[in-house]
């Protein structure tokens, strides 16, 4: 593990991103629990499209040696 201000800054940014993602997950959960079918379908379409663009390897360069991280769910 690195020591020094660079690792603290990185940890702070990671914590901020994690907190925002968890908050957005809870907001989506509340929207879906409104039992509105349209909101549920929009949320699922957004999750699917977001995963296809950012999470799957469909749009990534498979020729390079990229380090892929596991996708974690917060809900």
Domain-located, residue 32? yes
38-69 pLDDT, tens digit per residue, is: 999 999 999 999 888 888 887 776 665 555 55
DSSP string, 39-75: HHHHHHHHHHHHIIIIISSTTS-SSS---PPPP----
Residue 37 domain-assigned? yes
Helices 5-32 and 37-50 sit at what angle, rounded to 10 degrees?
A: 150
Tally of structural domains, the chain: 1
| 33 inside domain | yes
More confident residue, 70 or 19: 19
Residue 45, in any domain of the structure: yes
Residues with Cβ within 8 Å of 31's Cβ and at least 6 positions away in sequence, in order, are: 39, 43
**Residue at 61 is within a domain:** no
pLDDT value for 59: 75
pLDDT of 18 reads 94
For residue 51, being part of any structural domain is answered with yes
Residue 66 domain flag: no
pLDDT tens figures, 9-42:
899 999 999 999 999 999 999 998 999 999 999 9
Residue 13's pLDDT is 92
Residue 36: give the domain boundaries: 26-56
């Amino acid at each position: 593990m690195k020591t020094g201000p660079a690792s603290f800054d990185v940890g702070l940014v990671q914590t901020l991103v994690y907190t925002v993602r968890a908050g957005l997950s809870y907001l989506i959960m509340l929207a879906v629990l409104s039992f509105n079918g349209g909101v549920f379908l929009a949320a699922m379409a957004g999750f699917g499209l977001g995963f296809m663009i950012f999470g799957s390897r469909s749009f990534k360069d498979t020729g390079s040696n990229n380090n892929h991280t596991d996708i974690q769910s917060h809900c």
